[in-house]
């Protein structure tokens, strides 16, 4: 009798052990295996949100099938109290383990609303965009120019009220320092003021991720720091026998190149024209420099140059002065700086627009005059079509 009871007890114990082992293995597979999501979602973790609240939210959205198991797994891995607020993209069929890693890793939000402020040569545009988690693409819901429009759209007001909205400033190549500072002083997500316009050419055209309330001065210093590193690195690896002796002169050349062409593949050729002209003692005769002498970098001229302006001797009138103008005429990008310090070897001395967005280059004045004549015919044809 006693042996029978002991045997049954042992059998029951073994069965229980097998059941527990099976349950643990099932739990592990449920925690680490593919989840039930049939398409990606945006998951928002509120500031100070509890694990219980998040678990409930995950089950209601269909991201997990067992909220209790998610809580147990979070506690077991010691991540239950490490939730980071923000909006996160949860991929299709993401495991509980993967979701937990996403919401505890922190860093920049990967989903939700983004405010992009693009500062361009002609205008500045602030756009509010929401990420569609299914397509992975941002959809613009509102846009306006803070410089010319006083009242922002309601979508921007709502976006700025959200603590996890991401902010980005995108500085285009060729914009002037005055235009950059003017544009930045017209938005509310930056704090403080900067009294003096940064030196022309000192700001790196690039994309800058911000936090709401960041100091304007901090952003300007970041732009200057990046440009300084770009220029220093390019100067160290520069080509030999260039007609400028300092990094500052190379930056001036880069700004001329930046304003003369918007075609990336032409930058080194434009650089070769300017270098060849300097080597021969010829004047650069570049219109953008003359325009800068008129506008001082405050906005665009908005009209063609007058003959009287081309004849007037100013520090920036490269039809009248020898060599380079005294300062850059815009903030050039990395590619323009590279072109200034690595011009291609050509005999070109002239270039003129060709109607395709690019230019025709020539070695002789006779060929250049033919190219100019062709360009004027293209202009006349374009005017008739308008």
Helix boundaries (H) for 237-314 = 247-260, 267-279, 287-295, 307-311
Under the banding of pLDDT at 50, 70 and 90, the label for residue 30 is: confident
Rounded to whole angstroms, the Cα distance separating 91 from 232 reads 42
Under the banding of pLDDT at 50, 70 and 90, the label for residue 92 is: confident
Residue 32 token pair = 């680490």
State the Cα angle at 117 between 135 and 207, rounded to 5°. Answer: 80
**Confidence at residue 302, expressed as pLDDT on a 0 to 100 scale:** 87
**Confidence at residue 367, expressed as pLDDT on a 0 to 100 scale:** 93
Residue 216: name the closest of 198, 192, 238 by CA.
Answer: 192
Biggest CA–CA distance in the chain, Å, is 122
Under the banding of pLDDT at 50, 70 and 90, the label for residue 327 is: very high
Rounded to whole angstroms, the Cα distance separating 140 from 64 reads 30
**pLDDT tens digits, one per residue of 229-275:** 999 999 999 999 999 999 999 999 999 999 999 898 999 999 999 99
Lowest mean pLDDT among 84-98, 242-256, 316-330: 84-98
**Confidence at residue 42, expressed as pLDDT on a 0 to 100 scale:** 81
Does the pLDDT value for residue 6 go beyond 80? Answer: no
Assess contact for 154 and 198: CB atoms under 8 A: no
Rounded to whole angstroms, the Cα distance separating 307 from 301 reads 15
Pairing of strands 214-215, 359-362: unpaired
Instruction: Report the chain's mean pLDDT, rounded to a whole number.
Output: 88
Residue 317: name the closest of 349, 340, 294, 298 by CA.
Answer: 294
Assess contact for 97 and 104: CB atoms under 8 A: no
Under the banding of pLDDT at 50, 70 and 90, the label for residue 23 is: low
**Confidence at residue 64, expressed as pLDDT on a 0 to 100 scale:** 83
User: What's the rounded mean pLDDT across residues 139-160?
Assistant: 87
Percent of the chain with pLDDT over 90: 51
**Confidence at residue 76, expressed as pLDDT on a 0 to 100 scale:** 73
User: What's the rounded mean pLDDT across residues 2-18?
Assistant: 62
Q: Is 275 helix (H, G, I), strand (E, B) or coil?
A: helix
Assess contact for 201 and 327: CB atoms under 8 A: yes
Cut 0.75: pTM above it:
yes
**pLDDT tens digits, one per residue of 216-232:** 999 999 999 999 999 99
Under the banding of pLDDT at 50, 70 and 90, the label for residue 37 is: confident
Of 360 and 338, the structure prediction assigns the larger pLDDT to: 338
**Confidence at residue 200, expressed as pLDDT on a 0 to 100 scale:** 97
Positive or negative torsion for Cα 367, 372, 373, 378: positive
**Confidence at residue 152, expressed as pLDDT on a 0 to 100 scale:** 86
Lowest mean pLDDT among 74-83, 162-171, 290-299, 349-358: 74-83
State the Cα angle at 238 between 233 and 242, rounded to 5°. Answer: 140
Residue 323 token pair = 């060599």
């Amino acid at each position: 009798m006693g042996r029978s009871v002991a045997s049954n007890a042992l059998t029951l114990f073994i069965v229980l052990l097998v059941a527990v082992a099976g349950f643990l293995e099932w739990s592990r597979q449920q925690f680490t295996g593919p989840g039930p999501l049939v398409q990606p979602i945006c998951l928002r973790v509120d500031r100070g949100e509890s694990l219980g609240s998040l678990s409930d939210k995950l089950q209601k959205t269909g991201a997990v099938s067992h909220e209790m198991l998610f809580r147990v797994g979070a506690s077991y891995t010691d991540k239950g109290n490490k939730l980071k607020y923000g909006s996160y993209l949860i991929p299709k069929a993401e495991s509980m383990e993967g979701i937990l890693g996403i919401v505890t890793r922190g860093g920049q939000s990967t989903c939700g609303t983004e405010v992009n402020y693009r500062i361009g040569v002609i205008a500045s545009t602030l756009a509010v965009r929401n990420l569609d988690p299914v397509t992975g693409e941002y959809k613009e819901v509102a846009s306006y120019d803070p410089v010319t429009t006083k009242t922002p759209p309601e979508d921007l007001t709502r976006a700025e009220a959200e603590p996890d909205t991401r902010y980005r400033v995108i500085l285009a190549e060729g914009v002037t320092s005055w235009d950059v500072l003017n544009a930045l002083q017209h938005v509310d997500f930056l704090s403080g003021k900067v009294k003096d316009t940064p030196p022309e050419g000192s700001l790196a055209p690039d994309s800058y991720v911000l936090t709401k309330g960041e100091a304007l001065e901090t952003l300007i210093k970041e732009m200057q720091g990046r440009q300084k590193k770009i220029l220093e690195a390019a100067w160290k690896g520069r080509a030999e026998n260039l007609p400028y002796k300092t990094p500052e002169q190379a930056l001036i050349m880069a700004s001329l190149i930046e304003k003369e062409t918007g075609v990336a593949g032409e930058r080194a050729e434009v650089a070769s024209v300017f270098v060849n002209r300097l080597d021969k003692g010829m004047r650069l005769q570049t219109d953008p420099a003359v325009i800068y002498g008129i506008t001082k970098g405050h906005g665009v001229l908005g009209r063609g140059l007058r003959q009287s302006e081309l004849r007037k001797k100013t520090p920036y009138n490269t039809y009248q002065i020898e060599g380079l103008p005294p300062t850059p005429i815009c903030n050039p990008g990395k590619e323009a700086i590279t072109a200034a310090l690595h011009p291609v070897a050509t005999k070109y001395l002239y270039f003129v627009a060709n109607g395709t967005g690019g230019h025709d280059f020539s070695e002789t004045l006779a060929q250049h005059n033919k190219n100019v004549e062709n360009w004027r015919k293209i202009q006349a044809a374009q005017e008739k079509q308008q």
